[in-house]
Structure formats: C-alpha cells, structure tokens
C-alpha cells in the first residue's frame, strides 16, 4: 500500500470548463479517505485523474514515491471499483476475481491461492463457480471488490460503488466495505454524494464544492467544527439551522449577547428567536476584529431553562 498525494492538482476541459482547482490533499498509507459533495463538485474527476482515466492539466499526483501524471492507467498500480460492477457476464466468480492476475501471467497455482484467500475474506468461497447473473447486487459488488483486492495494488479507488443497491443493502455493504478495508489495510479513496456513507465509513472526509476543497477532517470534527457555511449546511441530517446575527464583544470575551437575529421558521416567537446571554451561547465565528460586527454564520445556541 502507498500514500496518495495531490499537489495543486487541477482539471480544465478543452471547452474551458474547470472541474477541479488547486486540489491539495495527502491520503496517508492505509487510510480510508472519502470524497463527498454535491453533483458536479469535482470528486469523481479527482478520482479519475488518480486512476489515469482523465489527464491532469495542472499540478501533480503522486502515488507512493512516483509522480503519475504521465503514466498510463495500467502503470499506476491502482485498482478501481465502478458503480456498475463491470463484471464479465460469461465468466464465473472465480474467473472474474482472477482475471487481472491471469492478464499479468501470474502462475496458475498462485492465482488459485490468492483467489481462494480473497473469496474467504469476502464471504464468496461457496459461490466461486456461479455466474454474475446468479448473484444478488451485494454479492456482485463483493466480486468487483475481490477483483480489485486480489491484485494487491498500491491504492483502491471506489466510485459510488453502492449507488445501485437498495437502502437496506447499502447499510449492510457499508459495514462490509469498512470491515474489508480494515482487514487488508488498503489505502482507499471512496467517492460518494451520500453524507451518511461519508460520515460512517471514512477515517477522514474531504468535502468538495464547485471544484474546490472546502474542508478535510475526521467525521466528528466536520460535524462539530465546520469551516464555512457550505460545510455546516451540507454535513448533518437534518441540516443545521442558520441565523444571521449581530454579535457584540465584551472585553476579552467572545460575545456579550446575540443582540439581533433574524430567524425563519425555526425561530421562537413572531419571526425572531430568543436572545441569549453569552454564557449560554457559543458562535462559530471570526470575531477578532471590531468590537461590533455583522456576521452571517452558523450558530449553535444552548440554553439552560
């Protein structure tokens, strides 16, 4: 396994559309990193650039000790799990898992050993002679993962692998993927638009918006201390309430009170929330400037009744 490092990576398509800008990120060896964000944010583009399926137009990507910008996909030593499984329908589970090894001319005995070892980890050892049409959606996804794992690549790249599964099976497969990743110790980059997947599976989560990295942190830190309004509103279910407020400093304290607030449906009373003294309230805001400033931010208000 190897680390994956993005240094100022960017992607601009020939028509001038910018999909990714100044992307800096260090995925540690053995880490489960999740890219999350709304459609069109650049998360899949970053993954495809890593795999070599999209050319890199700016910066560089390093896998282990090699800069891979100019390398073909087969030279990058990565394995990709796709959204649609991409299994060969005429091959058995055994042959699907071992196909990459066969193409690399791995000896038959070694190929058999590795396929059987991985199939035991994935719970597929009793299905090795079945064809993909005889498998459930979750079983097909495990076969696709087995085909990637058996190669022992430097990194695994997963592009929304659970999006075709029903809700109940998605929950089950989240736990399965997390378990398998821990067992094999694989460096993994996982792309999803589902924040629940991101928050429950990743060691760290990278939040993207419009081609820019907004924040990368552990899931609980993202939830407790979002960097900006977008992260605050995107992470968490139900969404965090947003209040526009005027905050007043008092000496060396953060704020004396929320002196004015405009609330929507979530406020108390006729169109405005209660005004709470600072000892019962805290605000995630940059208040190091003037003693009285206008701030549109995210507030978590705690009151003692």
Q: What is the pLDDT of residues 114-144, one digit of tens each?
A: 999 888 888 888 899 999 999 988 888 889 8
Q: Using alpha carbons only, what angle is made at residue 26 by residues 61 and 69, rounded to the nearest 5 degrees? A: 5
- Does any domain span residue 112? yes
Residue 281: what pLDDT? 37
In a domain, 121, yes or no: yes
Answer whether residue 282 is part of any domain. Answer: yes
Which residues touch 215 (CB under 8 Å, ≥6 apart)?
206, 207, 222, 226, 227, 228, 231
Long-range contacts of 222-226 (CB under 8 A, 24+ apart): 223/199, 225/284, 226/284, 226/298
Distance from C-alpha of 144 to C-alpha of 177, rounded to nearest angstrom: 12
The reply to whether 97 and 223 lie within a common domain is yes
**Strand-pair partners of 189:** 33, 157
Q: How confident is the model at residue 229 (pLDDT cuts 50, 70, 90)?
A: confident
> Does 226 fall in a domain?
yes
5 in any annotated domain: no
For residues 258 and 223, membership in a common domain is answered with: no
Domain that holds residue 222: 30-44+79-234
| 50-59, 103-112, 168-177, 237-246: range with lowest mean pLDDT | 237-246
Domain of residue 206, CATH code? 3.40.50.300
Write the pLDDT tens digit of every residue in 247-269: 666 665 554 444 444 444 444 44
The pLDDT value given to residue 32: 95
Q: Is a pLDDT exceeding 90 seen at residue 62?
A: yes
Q: Indicate whether 215 and 252 sit together in one domain.
A: no
111 and 255 both lie in a single domain: no
Rounded Cα distance, 16 and 32, in Å: 32
| pLDDT score of 236 | 79
What confidence tens digit (pLDDT) does each residue in 175-201 have?
A: 888 888 888 888 999 999 888 889 999
Q: Tell whether 150 and 249 lie within a shared domain.
A: no
Domain assignment of residue 54, yes or no: no
Query: Are residue 118 and residue 172 in the same domain, yes or no?
Result: yes
Is the domain of 100 the same as that of 205? yes
Return the pLDDT at 251: 61
Res. 26: pLDDT tops 90: yes
Question: Which of residues 185, 215, 234 is at a domain's end?
Answer: 234
Query: Has residue 24 been placed in a domain?
Result: no
Do 117 and 224 fall within a single domain? Answer: yes
- Structurally, the chain folds into a number of domains equal to 2
β-strands 242-248, 58-63 pairing = unpaired
Assess whether 210 and 263 both reside in one domain.
no
- pLDDT bucket at 292, cuts 50 / 70 / 90: very low
Which of 206, 234, 262 corresponds to the end of one domain? Answer: 234
pLDDT of residue 92: 94
Q: Is the pLDDT of residue 294 over 60?
A: no
Q: Are 141 and 85 in contact (CB under 8 A)?
A: yes
Q: Residue 295: what pLDDT?
A: 38
- pLDDT for the residue 296: 39
277 and 137 belong to one structural domain: no
pLDDT score at 115: 92
131 and 190 housed in the same domain: yes
Q: Once rounded to an integer, what is the mean pLDDT over residues 154-182? A: 85
- What average pLDDT does the chain have? 80
Average pLDDT for 33-51: 94
Q: Is the pLDDT of residue 283 over 50?
A: no
CA–CA separation, 52 and 78 (whole Å): 9
């Amino acid at each position: 396994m190897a680390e994956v490092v993005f240094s100022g990576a960017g992607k601009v398509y020939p028509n001038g559309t910018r999909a990714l800008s100044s992307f800096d990120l260090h995925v540690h060896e053995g880490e489960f990193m999740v890219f999350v964000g709304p459609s069109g944010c650049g998360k899949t583009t970053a993954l495809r650039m890593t795999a070599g399926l999209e050319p890199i137009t700016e910066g560089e990507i390093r896998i282990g000790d090699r800069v891979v910008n100019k390398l073909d996909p087969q030279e990058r030593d990565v394995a990709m799990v796709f959204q649609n499984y991409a299994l060969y329908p005429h091959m058995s589970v055994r042959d699907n898992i071992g196909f990459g090894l066969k193409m690399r001319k791995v000896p038959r005995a070694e190929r058999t050993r590795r396929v059987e070892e991985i199939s035991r980890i994935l719970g597929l050892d009793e299905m090795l002679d079945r064809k993909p049409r005889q498998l459930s959606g979750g079983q097909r996804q495990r076969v696709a993962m087995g085909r990637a794992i058996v190669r022992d690549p430097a990194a695994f790249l997963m592009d929304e692998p659970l999006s075709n599964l029903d809700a109940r099976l998605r929950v089950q497969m989240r736990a399965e993927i997390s378990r398998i990743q821990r067992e094999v110790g694989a460096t993994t980059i996982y792309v999803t638009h589902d924040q629940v997947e991101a928050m429950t599976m990743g060691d760290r989560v990278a939040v993207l918006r419009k081609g820019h990295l907004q924040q990368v942190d552990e899931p609980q830190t993202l939830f407790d201390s979002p960097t900006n309004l977008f992260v605050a509103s995107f992470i968490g279910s139900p969404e965090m309430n947003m209040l526009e407020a005027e905050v007043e400093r008092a000496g060396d304290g953060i704020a004396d009170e929320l002196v004015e607030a405009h609330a929507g449906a979530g406020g108390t009373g006729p169109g405005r929330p209660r005004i709470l003294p600072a000892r019962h309230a805290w605000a995630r805001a940059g208040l190091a400037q003037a003693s009285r400033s206008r701030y549109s931010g995210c507030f978590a208000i705690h009151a003692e009744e």
